[in-house]
């Protein structure tokens, strides 16, 4: 599972979050047919994609205004748990949290044993 959280630099809690379980590609942008839709003038219609590669994820920039990790522009980058990416130099920030499927399966099994 992967969770995306829209964060604001001056707020402690995310203003919105999205959980994804089975998607191999997650699309983020201004167009309404994206998985995550962000209405901002600096966000491209199809700004960035996250691609699942086995147990890992990769970020792919598609936006004309760029995608940034640690204030550096990226074309592609591996996803690191807890990282924050910014859409365009002054655009929205998204924190990425990864959860391993193995951990989820163990947790579901334990919860099933407790309930049964």
Q: For the chain, which residues make up each domain, given as ranges?
A: 2-111
- C-alpha to C-alpha distance for 23 and 103, rounded to whole angstroms: 18
DSSP 46-95: T-EEEEEETTEEEEEE--TT-EEETTEEESEEE--TT-EEEESTTS-EEE
Residue 113 has pLDDT above 60, yes or no: no
Task: Identify which of 12-21, 68-77, 98-107 has the greatest average pLDDT.
Answer: 68-77
First to last CA, the chain: 25
More confident residue, 27 or 7: 27
Tokens 């949290």, located at residue: 97
Does the domain spanning 2-111 belong to CATH 2.60.40.420?
A: no
For residue 73, what are the contacts with CB-CB under 8 A and spacing of at least 6? 61, 66, 67
Over the chain, what is the mean pLDDT?
88
Could you tell me how many helices (H) and strands (E) the chain has, helices first? Answer: 1, 11
Q: Supply the pTM of this predicted model.
A: 0.81
């Amino acid at each position: 599972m992967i969770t995306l959280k829209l964060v604001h630099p001056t707020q402690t809690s995310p203003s919105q979050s999205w959980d994804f379980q089975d998607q191999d590609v997650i699309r983020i942008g201004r167009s309404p047919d994206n998985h995550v839709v962000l209405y901002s003038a600096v966000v491209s219609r199809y700004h960035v994609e996250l691609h699942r590669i086995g147990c890992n994820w990769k970020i792919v920039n598609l936006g004309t205004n760029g995608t940034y990790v640690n204030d550096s522009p990226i074309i592609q980058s591996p996803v690191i748990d807890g990282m924050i990416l910014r859409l365009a130099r002054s655009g929205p920030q998204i924190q990425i949290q990864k959860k391993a499927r193995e951990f989820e399966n163990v947790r579901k099994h334990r919860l099933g044993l407790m309930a049964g």
